[in-house]
Amino acid sequence: MGFLDGLMGNASEVELDKVEKELKDLLVSTEKVEHAYKLIRDLFVFTDKRLLLIDKQGMTGKKVEYHSIPYKSVVHFSIETAGTLDLDAELKIWLSGSAIPIQKKFNKSLNIYKVQSVLAAYVLK
């Protein structure tokens, strides 16, 4: 991931073993990280049980907020593919009880269809 991609809000795929090591205290013993995306310091993680949004705050990133979203809470999601002038793809996820979606932008090199497929596989069970 390029520095400018991070500044523009774009996410890129990251290595799963590094993410599992970083989240070892949060994951239950039978939980596996399936896919993970990094946005500067923040993480967007799909496990086989839930979606984790990790928000590293402050200058040092030592303060961290963890959002754990069970897949059953996802009521609607959409993707917007990258275009000719708009080089970003976007994933929007609506949760039950919330009118405003979670929005994440992905750079053009990432296959947004793959991300959508991972989410769909868990939400549509």
**Which pLDDT tens digit goes with each residue over 12-47?**
788 999 999 999 999 999 999 999 988 767 888 999
Q: How many CA atoms lie within 13 A of 65 on its CB side?
A: 5
Q: Please give the model's pTM, rounded to 2 decimal places.
A: 0.77
Q: Residue 82's domain is classified under what CATH number?
A: 2.30.29.30
Could you tell me if residue 60 is inside a domain? yes
Could you tell me if residue 59 is inside a domain? yes
Could you tell me if residue 6 is inside a domain? no
Could you tell me if residue 96 is inside a domain? yes
For Cα atoms 82, 53, 8, give the angle at the middle one, nearest 5 degrees: 40
Could you tell me if residue 1 is inside a domain? no
pLDDT in tens, 66-91: 999 999 999 999 999 887 777 788 88
Could you tell me if residue 10 is inside a domain? no
Could you tell me if residue 11 is inside a domain? no
For residue 109, count CB atoms less than 10 angstroms from its CB and return exposed for 0-12, middle for 13-18, buried for 19 or more: middle
Pairing, β 63-70 against β 50-57: antiparallel
Could you tell me if residue 3 is inside a domain? no
How big is the chain, counted in residues? 125
The neighbouring-strand residues paired with 44 are 37, 53
Our count of domains for the chain comes to 1
Task: Find the domain containing 54 and state its range.
Answer: 16-124
pLDDT of residue 10: 54
Rounded Cα distance between 32 and 86, Å, is: 34
pLDDT in tens, 78-125: 999 887 777 788 889 999 999 999 988 877 777 888 888 989 998 998
